[in-house]
Amino acid sequence: MLREIRLEPGQLLTPELLARSGGISAEIADGAAQIVDEVCLRGDKALLEYTERYDGAALDDIRVSEFEIAQAYKQVDDELVEALRYAADRIRDFHSQHVSESWTITDDEGVVLGKKITPIERVGVYVPGGTAPYPSSVLMNVLPAHVANVKHIAMATPPSSDGTVNAATLVAADIAGVDDIYKIGGAQAIGALAYGTETVDAVDKIVGPGNAYVAAAKRYVDGDVGIDMIAGPSEVLVLADEDADPRLIAIDLMAQAEHDVRAATYLVTTDPTLPGIVSEELDKLLPNSTREEITRAALTDNSLCVICETIEDAIAASDVIAPEHLEIMTDNALDVAEALSHAGAIFVGAWTPESAGDYVAGPNHVLPTEGTARFSSPLTTEDFLKKTSILSYTRKGLKRDQHAIEKIADAEGFWAHKEAVNMRFSS
């Protein structure tokens, strides 16, 4: 089931060998752009038409009411409500640990320089529907915005064909403190959040994962509003040696593969016998899965086992993949984690399954995918804050810098830049 490649000592893994689905097709990009443009042109009427066409729901109102939220609590098991509240507390506590604050410094000439930190005013959170509900995605996207003191948070999520929104998703939104919830999905939801309609107020930034049309729409509106990232299919890499438990590796690969048929799973190991044993464990476990068809398809089409000679070669291979989630099941796992450079999140040791990070650990599960961990970071409160530079010169300070400013202005051919300094001393 698992595709294998063996690297020679010192051989580098090449990106061409990876099981990645690639970018957004031109057809999807064009389709998403047309939908967004139509929403801009026709507002709520377009939203209602697209919701009926793609979700099968004929709605009179796209806004979720207080009554619907109250009913959602009656439909959700009390233990799940408590679990969501527990997760919310953990996520809030983690993200509260690193909130930037405004600062200034004053130099010897009395010049004041600094950064003014202010929250984004309006944020839109997209929560996917599709094959599964995602209350955890609500918490992970909304709570960092709340910690950053965003003034208004709206949420868009596709309805079921009967016009309802998943009850657990609504409960999570209420726990997290969402201000407005809309029953809209797909590219049309991104268009509405970005540009507004009669019912939906435009936001300043859009966050949250979605399907290829959602990703394409986010890319299309980027620049008119801010976005968090273009999320690709979910992925996990398990870095393991001969002491790792094959059964735990198998179930952790399945935990990622069950997300979507496009989910990617990687096993990088120094034990050449491990991939075969893990495959045997997968064959035993798959029939028990409630999402067997999806999980099996992902493992069959998008998995890769990389066999390396040394742990150093395994670390290098992992860094080429730069996975969204990276689990380390090796001897001296903390040392291995220190040696790695590229991953969205690192899960150290056999007692740290990726599912803990998905739900309750606290760090965000909105992570860079498809190798973008080489230059991108998880979603944090920083994504909901704006940084504004502060400058306040004194006469003495400007006199000190006058010559340097003039020389650079001359070099760039900007006469007025130079005179803007000169005139302050000649008047």
Q: Which residues are catalytic?
A: 324-325
The dihedral through the CA atoms of 325, 290, 303, 126 has a sign that is negative
Q: How far is it, in rounded angstroms, from Cα 49 to Cα 357?
A: 38
Q: How far is it, in rounded angstroms, from Cα 342 to Cα 323?
A: 7
The dihedral through the CA atoms of 366, 368, 374, 377 has a sign that is negative
For residue 345 the two structure tokens come to 């999140």
Q: How far is it, in rounded angstroms, from Cα 400 to Cα 397?
A: 5
15 Cβ partners below 8 Å, 6+ apart? 320, 371
DSSP β-bridge partners for residue 205: 123, 226
The dihedral through the CA atoms of 84, 87, 92, 98 has a sign that is negative
Contact criterion met (CB below 8 Å) for 360 and 349: no
In angstroms, the Cα distances linking 210 to 229, 386, 415 are 11, 25, 50
Q: How far is it, in rounded angstroms, from Cα 46 to Cα 34?
A: 11
Tell me how long the chain is.
Answer: 427
Q: How far is it, in rounded angstroms, from Cα 263 to Cα 192?
A: 28
For residue 162 the two structure tokens come to 């009967």
